[in-house]
Structure 1
Amino acid sequence: MAELMLLTDGSVNTQSKIGYGAYLAVSERGLPLDSLRMRVKVRRFEHTSSTKLELQTLLWALSDIQVSGSKMTVYTDSQNIMGLQGRRDRFEQNEYRSKKNRRLNNFELYQEFYRMTDQLDCEFVKVRGHQGSNQKDDIDRLFTLVDRASRNALRGDNR
């Protein structure tokens, strides 16, 4: 079974609600960072927030790479994504409603997340992000590629 690493990140301008998501899918180890930098994909999202953007980016990446039959490790710095599996039962029992009986923000994205990850063999790993270069391991270096791509795209949009 093939193993795939998926790294996702996003950057959003909270005033304009425009954000950029970036992902990198890697199936072979040991490739030079320069060649991997060219493989990072970036997409613009409108009417978004940081929480929503992280989910939108992950769902876009999962549908874009259309992986099946592979073990996938997803690296993210999103606390929301990391906690979604643990919140699934409660979300579904409450029909994606808050204690005040209002629909949760992003509930459709949560439903899509569960639908997609049910079909895949996914493991989620938290990346600390924004560390000094002397503290980075190989995964951190790869994550820096998607982090920079999303931030640079957002900066270019704000000019």
Structure 2
Amino acid sequence: MHNPVYLFTDVSVNPKSKIGYGAILYTEDVNQSIEELKSQVKLNQFTDTSSTKLELENLLWGLSLVTEKGFSKIIVHTDSQNVLSLLNRRKRLEDNNYQTKGNKQVNHHQLYKAFFEFYDTYHIEIVKIKGHQPGRDKSTLESIFTLVDRASRQALRKGV
């Protein structure tokens, strides 16, 4: 498929229970109505997780779904600083064999490697989205992101 797919990801986690929910939405058409897009949000529960780990797990889940559908050009929209900084950190992570200065394995190294494998295989662009904007100030993409933001928070509250 030649058209890009837009992938929106967000998560909510309970640090005490280490249970979290990831929400994703992917679409080729960001001009659909919010109601149409709302019905396309997908949720997944993750256990034994943290906010950093969950952001990566959810992104990998979303990338798996869109690549299984045949998309190869993927524009990821996220507010996760960890995800946004991954590409800048890649060289250092790889040069140090995913180890800290104390020769310990970097937390989540397997998830980082899995992301870089997706990145090397597909055309992926990561776009920073501003979360938690007032409604009147939101762009179309920010309004779509709000759908996954709300879905992950509601799922965590309800324990879907």
Q: Answer whether TM exceeds 0.5 for this pair.
A: yes
Q: Which letter does structure 1 place at the counterpart of 2:17? A: S
Equivalent position SS for 2:23: strand
Would the aligned equivalents of 1:68 and 1:120 in 2 still touch at CA under 8 Å? Answer: no
Q: Which residue pairs with 2:43 in the alignment?
A: 42
1:80 correspondence with 2:99: no
Any unmatched runs of 5+ in structure 2? none
**What is residue 106 of structure 1 aligned with on the other side?**
108
CA shift digits 1:62-121 (9 cap, x unpaired): 112225563221000000101111111110111100111111110000000000111111
Q: 1:136 aligns with which of 135, 138, 145?
A: 138
SS in 2 for 1:53: helix
1:71 maps to 73
Distance between the aligned counterparts of 1:111 and 1:12, measured in 2? 23
What runs of 5+ residues in structure 1 fail to find an aligned partner? Answer: none
The aligned counterpart of 2:14 is 13
Alpha-carbon distance in 2 for matches of 1:133, 1:3? 26
Letter in 2 for 1:5: Y
Q: Which runs of 4+ in 1 moved over 4 A?
A: none
2:30–2:141 CA contact under 8 A, matched in 1: no
Q: Which stretch has the larger CA shift, 5-14 or 21-30? A: 21-30
Number of residue equivalences: 158
Report what 1:28 is aligned to.
Answer: 29
Secondary structure, counterpart of 2:13 in structure 1 = strand
Among all aligned residue pairs of Structure 1 and Structure 2, give the percentage whose two residues are the same amino acid: 46
**Could you tell me how far apart the structure 1 residues matched to 2:59 and 2:81 are?**
13
Report the Cα distance in structure 2 between the residues aligned to 1:107 and 1:6, rounded to whole angstroms: 23
Equivalent pair of 2:75/2:125 in contact (CA under 8 Å): yes
